[in-house]
Amino acid sequence: MSTIISCGSQKGGVGKSTTAYNLGACLALNHGKKVLLVDIDPQANLSDYLGFEPDGSPTMTQLVMSACMGTLKPEMLQDSLWYCETADVDFIPSDINLASAEPLMSTTISRETILRRILTKDFVSEYDFVIIDCLPSLGTLLINALTVSDRLLIPVQTQKFSMDGLQSLESLYQQIKSAVNPKLNLLGVLPTMTDRTRVSRASVETLTEKYGEMLFRTHISKSVEAARSSENRMPLCLTDSKLGREYEELAQEVLERC
Q: Domain boundaries in the chain?
A: 3-257
Task: Look up the pTM and report it.
Answer: 0.95
Query: b vs e for 156-179, b when ≥16 Cβ sit within 10 Å of the residue's Cβ?
Result: bbbbeebbebbeebbebbeebbee
* pLDDT, position 13: 81
Over residues 228-256, the mean pLDDT reads 93
3 state DSSP class of 97: coil
Task: Give the CA distances from residue 99 to residues 40, 41, 65, 103, 140, in Å, rounded to whole numbers and listed in that order.
Answer: 9, 8, 11, 8, 11
- In this predicted model, what pLDDT tens digit does every residue of 20-34 receive, in sequence order? 999 999 999 999 999
How many Å is the maximal CA-CA distance in the chain?
Answer: 54
Q: Where are the alpha helices (DSSP H) in the chain?
A: 16-29, 45-49, 60-69, 74-80, 98-106, 114-118, 121-124, 140-148, 160-164, 166-179, 198-211, 224-232, 242-257
* pLDDT, position 257: 96
Q: Distance between CA atoms of 178 and 184, rounded to whole angstroms? A: 9
Whether residue 106 is predicted with pLDDT greater than 80 in this model: the reply is yes
Q: Distance between CA atoms of 85 and 15, rounded to whole angstroms? A: 22
Whether residue 71 is predicted with pLDDT greater than 90 in this model: the reply is yes
DSSP string computed for 153-199 = EEEEESSHHHHHTHHHHHHHHHHHHHHT-TT-EEEEEEEESB-SSHH
Whether residue 92 is predicted with pLDDT greater than 90 in this model: the reply is yes
Mean model confidence pLDDT for the chain? 93
- In this predicted model, what pLDDT tens digit does every residue of 126-182 receive, in sequence order? 999 999 999 998 899 999 999 999 999 999 998 766 666 788 999 999 999 999 999
The values of phi and psi at residue 52, to 5°, are -70, 130
Confidence of residue 11 (pLDDT cuts 50, 70, 90): confident
* pLDDT, position 149: 98
* 73 contacts: CB under 8 Å, gap ≥ 6: 66
Confidence of residue 196 (pLDDT cuts 50, 70, 90): confident
**CATH architecture, range 3-257:** 3-Layer(aba) Sandwich (3.40)
* pLDDT, position 161: 63
Over residues 223-231, the mean pLDDT reads 85
Whether residue 43 is predicted with pLDDT greater than 90 in this model: the reply is yes
